[in-house]
Amino acid sequence: MVSKSQTKLITSLQQKKYRSQSGLFVAEGPKVIDELLNENMELHSLFSTKASEITAENHFHVTETELKKISFLKTANTSLALFKIPQPKIPQDSGLIVALDAVRDPGNLGTIIRLCDWFGVQQLLCSEDTTDCYNPKVVQATMGSLARVQVHYLELSEYFGKTKLPIFGGFMDGNNIYSEKLPQEGIIVMGNEANGISEEISQKITHRITIPRFGKIQKTESLNVATATAILLSEFRRFTEM
């Protein structure tokens, strides 16, 4: 059973304000939930339609109708969990880091977190106006990678003022990424879906790079931020010893 106060709490977690207040976020479906548990994300409570999954005090057996009521998905899965948002850590100024300047689309952020995980990028820096990574849509899109990538929300320009790492930024008019010598350590900055990297952040970029367009007719406006991140990460990693 789901109590009224539980329903109220879960529903409220769609909004960032209430996630911050309660320190909780929602994950749905056994696959995503298992991945988060495997990475030692701390479980607050679990709601499942399967009696076999109810093995602790903070596990609640629910009917399909009850689950549907608390689910954020179009088609509810068999389980929904609340996890505790991990305490923020201090970013380590080393290795390959991705930084996002005002990326707004939850699907894009989720895909980028998954890409970081794939390419062994352990730290993702986000400007304060980037979508919250504990937004339910982001959590679902990361497929569990969220537990393996540290996401830091901070004042990007302040961080860039102090870092010792080279700062690469994706622009339409930068150096050809395929002929650029890329280091193993550095920060790759990706900008907002509509406006790219902001003026303030642009001034901190030490290396302007671009993915060249091919084909005779060069009209494609720009690549989606997630696909551009995929290509840049692949370029930075392709020469790495495996």
C-alpha 221/C-alpha 59 separation (Å) is 49
99 near 32, Cβ under 8 Å? no
C-alpha 18/C-alpha 240 separation (Å) is 42
C-alpha 107/C-alpha 213 separation (Å) is 24
Q: What is the largest CA-CA distance in the chain?
A: 64
User: Taking CB under 8 A as the rule, which mask of x and - marks residues 90-119 in contact with a copy of itself?
Assistant: -----------------x---x--xx-xxx
Query: Candidates 1-9, 21-29, 51-59, 120-128 — which segment interacts with a copy of itself by CB under 8 A?
Result: 120-128
Which one-letter amino acid corresponds to residue 4? Answer: K
Query: Candidates 76-84, 188-196, 200-208, 209-217 — which segment interacts with a copy of itself by CB under 8 A?
Result: 209-217
C-alpha 1/C-alpha 72 separation (Å) is 18
Per CB under 8 A, which of residues 156..195 are in contact with a copy of itself? 178
- DSSP for residue 216: S
Using CB under 8 A, pick the residue from 55, 74, 164, 215 that binds a copy of itself. 215
Using CB under 8 A, pick the residue from 137, 148, 193, 202 that binds a copy of itself. 148
Contact residues for a copy of itself, defined by CB under 8 A: 35, 38, 107, 111, 114-115, 117-122, 143-145, 148, 178, 211-217, 219-221, 223-224, 226-228, 230-231, 234-235, 237-238, 240, 242
